Structure 1
Amino acid sequence: MRTKAVLFDFDGTLADTLPVIFHAFQTVFRRHDRREVSPDEIIGMFGPPEEGILRKELSHCGSLEEAVKEFYHLYEENHTRLVRPSGDIRDLLAFLRDRSYRTAVITGKGRRTFEISARELGLSDAFDVTITGNDVEKAKPDPEGILRALDELGAAKEEAVFLGDSDADIAAGKAAGLRTYGVLWLPTTQASEFREKPDAVFRRTAQLRELLEGEAG
Structure 2
Amino acid sequence: MKAVIFDFDGTLADTLPVCFYAFQAVFKEFDNLEINEKEIVAMFGPSETGIIKENLKNQNHDLAIERYYEKYREHHPQIVQDNQEINDLLNHLKSQGYKLGVVTGKGSRSLDISLEELQMQEMFDVIITGDDVTIPKPHPEGLNKALAMLGVQNHEAIFIGDSDADISAGKQANIYTIGVQWLPNFQTVQFTVQPNLTLNSIKEFHFVLESQD
**Alignment RMSD:** 0.7
Q: Which digits, 9 at most, give the CA deviation of each residue in 1:53-100, with x for residues without a partner?
A: 1011001x1521111111010000000011011111001001101100
Shift of 1:193: 1.9
| 1:112 equivalenced with 2:109 (yes/no) | yes
| 1:93 equivalenced with 2:93 (yes/no) | no
Name the CA distance, whole Å, in 2 between partners of 1:177 and 1:109.
23
Q: How does 1:39-58 map to 2 (within 5 A)?
A: 39-58=37-56
| 1:5 equivalenced with 2:3 (yes/no) | yes
Name the CA distance, whole Å, in 2 between partners of 1:6 and 1:142.
19
Which ranges of structure 1 fall in alignment gaps of 5 or more residues?
none
Specify the alignment match of 1:103 in structure 2.
100
Specify the alignment match of 1:64 in structure 2.
61
Name the CA distance, whole Å, in 2 between partners of 1:155 and 1:30.
44
The correspondence for 1:80, drawn from 62, 77, 80, is 77
Runs of 4+ in 1 over 4 A off after TM superposition: none
Specify the alignment match of 2:149 in structure 1.
152
Name the CA distance, whole Å, in 2 between partners of 1:97 and 1:124.
14
SS of residue matched to 1:161:
strand
Specify the alignment match of 2:124 in structure 1.
127
SS of residue matched to 1:78:
helix
Name the CA distance, whole Å, in 2 between partners of 1:206 and 1:157.
25
Name the CA distance, whole Å, in 1 between partners of 2:77 and 2:124.
21
SS of residue matched to 1:80:
helix
Name the CA distance, whole Å, in 2 between partners of 1:173 and 1:109.
17
Identity of aligned residues (%): 46
Specify the alignment match of 1:140 in structure 2.
137
Q: Which digits, 9 at most, give the CA deviation of each residue in 1:156-191, with x for residues without a partner?
A: 111100000000000000000011010000000001
Q: Which digits, 9 at most, give the CA deviation of each residue in 1:13-57, with x for residues without a partner?
A: 000000000000001001101111110110110111111110110
Name the CA distance, whole Å, in 2 between partners of 1:139 and 1:63.
24
TM-score by structure 1 length? 0.97
One-letter identity of the residue aligned with 2:131: N
| 1:33 equivalenced with 2:28 (yes/no) | no
- Number of residue pairs aligned between Structure 1 and Structure 2: 213
One-letter identity of the residue aligned with 1:22: F
| 1:205 equivalenced with 2:197 (yes/no) | no
Which ranges of structure 2 fall in alignment gaps of 5 or more residues?
none
Shift of 1:212: 1.6
Name the CA distance, whole Å, in 2 between partners of 1:81 and 1:70.
18
TM-score by structure 2 length? 0.98
Shift of 1:209: 1.8
| 1:161 equivalenced with 2:168 (yes/no) | no
Name the CA distance, whole Å, in 1 between partners of 2:168 and 2:147.
16
Specify the alignment match of 2:180 in structure 1.
183
